[in-house]
């Protein structure tokens, strides 16, 4: 039985010791729960890939307690420093050039010359990162391609005894993953994944942002770029104007077509931040509703709605044969 503990000082010290010994620990961030491993330990990172059944070409985000800790292995330019000053700690990941001699496992970076870094804002995550005193990779604590966890019980249901310890910090405040911005090229900045920091907030600092190329989607430079991702077991139908009696419905605001077998309104008041916070919990609950499929009403794409729509589009995408998901790196 996986150990689940409230994040008191004793539990955090135990979690840090487990991470330093090469074990896997799940912990809350402000976005979703992460599955942590020592980013400098090849064996620990390999164990993480096996636990998640994650494709080896899909890089990981390195989490740190403070920006200065990344200076030894990532190159920050003036653009990165402006973003760090505004958004760290917080739901923003930066993809930066790696410095020569970086201690980060090449498994964690998928062999790329870049590294993705973030300082999370959750107090439990920061306490753990300070206690372990080394870089920690922490993708979402679920099987690769599945719905991300926003509660400790989601982690247990997804990964079970593959995790040595789960720190239960309650529900995550934001509910969708961090925004990923690629600053590895001086000529442009690109959003690789929309998330908790909005496009408008970023463009107020950086100016217009470029979009990732098709080649980058096929050989991702950051997590969350695969076409099929964040997916429940049931098929997902987007932009639903009506709903069948054997479908589960995700509604938003006053847009709630009648007739569904089961309905969850992401935000009756039409608040996109509330909808983001509820999204993954709703997808998990819809999977258990007894429905044949999940219908989702149109969601506005402004602000954090861009991240919600990105996750739903990937949840609805054609899915690879999960039986062939890789077991190793």
How large a percentage of the chain has pLDDT more than 70?
A: 91
* Domain locations along the chain: 3-218, 236-320
- The pLDDT value given to residue 216: 58
The three-state secondary structure class of 155 is helix
pLDDT in tens, 202-214: 999 999 998 776 6
At residue 26, φ and ψ (nearest 5 deg) are -100, 140
What mean pLDDT do residues 209-227 have? 62
Gap between the Cα atoms of 294 and 134, Å rounded: 41
What mean pLDDT do residues 187-193 have? 94
Gap between the Cα atoms of 97 and 93, Å rounded: 13
Q: Kindly give the pairing relationship between strand 114-118 and strand 92-97.
A: antiparallel
- The pLDDT value given to residue 228: 53
Structure tokens at 255: 């847009």
Q: Is pLDDT of 320 > 80? A: no
- The pLDDT value given to residue 325: 26
The three-state secondary structure class of 190 is strand
**CATH, domain range 236-320:** 3.40.50.11030
Assigned superfamily of 3-218: DHBP synthase (3.90.870.10)
Q: Is residue 293 a contact partner of residue 234, using CB atoms and an 8 Å limit?
A: yes
Gap between the Cα atoms of 238 and 245, Å rounded: 16
More confident residue, 94 or 326: 94
- Mean confidence (pLDDT) of the chain: 92
Gap between the Cα atoms of 15 and 89, Å rounded: 21
Q: Is pLDDT of 136 > 80? A: yes
Angle (deg, nearest 10), helices 9-20 and 123-132: 50
Q: Is residue 312 a contact partner of residue 299, using CB atoms and an 8 Å limit?
A: yes
Q: Is pLDDT of 163 > 70? A: yes
- The pLDDT value given to residue 212: 72
Neighbours of 278 (CB within 10 A): 22
Burial label, 5 (beta-carbon count in 10 A; 0-12, 13-18, 19+): middle
- The pLDDT value given to residue 327: 25
């Amino acid at each position: 039985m996986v150990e689940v503990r409230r994040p008191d000082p004793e539990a955090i010290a135990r979690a840090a010791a487990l991470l330093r010994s090469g074990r896997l620990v799940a912990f809350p961030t402000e976005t979703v729960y992460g599955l942590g491993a020592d980013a400098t330990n090849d064996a620990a990172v390999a164990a993480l890939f096996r636990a998640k059944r994650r494709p080896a070409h899909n890089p990981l985000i390195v989490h740190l307690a403070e920006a200065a800790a990344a200076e030894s292995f990532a190159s920050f330019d003036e653009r990165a420093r402006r973003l760090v000053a505004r958004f760290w700690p917080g739901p923003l990941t930066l993809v930066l050039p790696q410095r020569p001699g970086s201690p980060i496992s090449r498994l964690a970076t998928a062999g790329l010359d870049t590294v993705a870094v973030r300082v999370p804002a959750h107090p439990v995550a920061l306490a753990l990162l300070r206690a372990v005193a080394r870089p920690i990779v922490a993708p979402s604590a679920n099987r690769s391609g599945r719905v991300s966890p926003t509660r400790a019980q989601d982690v247990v249901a997804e990964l079970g005894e593959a995790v040595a310890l789960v720190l239960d910090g309650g529900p995550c405040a934001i509910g969708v993953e961090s925004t990923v911005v690629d600053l590895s090229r001086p000529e442009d900045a690109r959003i690789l994944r929309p998330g908790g920091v909005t496009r408008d907030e970023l463009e107020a600092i950086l100016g217009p942002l470029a979009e990732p190329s098709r080649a980058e989607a096929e050989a991702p430079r950051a997590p969350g770029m695969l076409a099929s991702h964040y997916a429940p077991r049931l098929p997902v139908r987007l932009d639903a104007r009506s709903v069948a009696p054997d479908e589960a419905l995700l509604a938003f605001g006053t847009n709630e077509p009648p007739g569904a077998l089961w309905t969850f309104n992401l935000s009756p008041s039409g608040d996109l931040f509330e909808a983001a916070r509820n999204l993954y919990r709703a997808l998990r609950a819809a999977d258990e509703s007894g429905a044949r499929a999940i219908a989702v009403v149109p969601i506005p794409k402004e602000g954090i709605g861009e991240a919600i729509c990105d996750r739903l589009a990937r949840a609805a995408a054609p899915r690879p044969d999960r039986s062939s998901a890789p077991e190793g790196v």
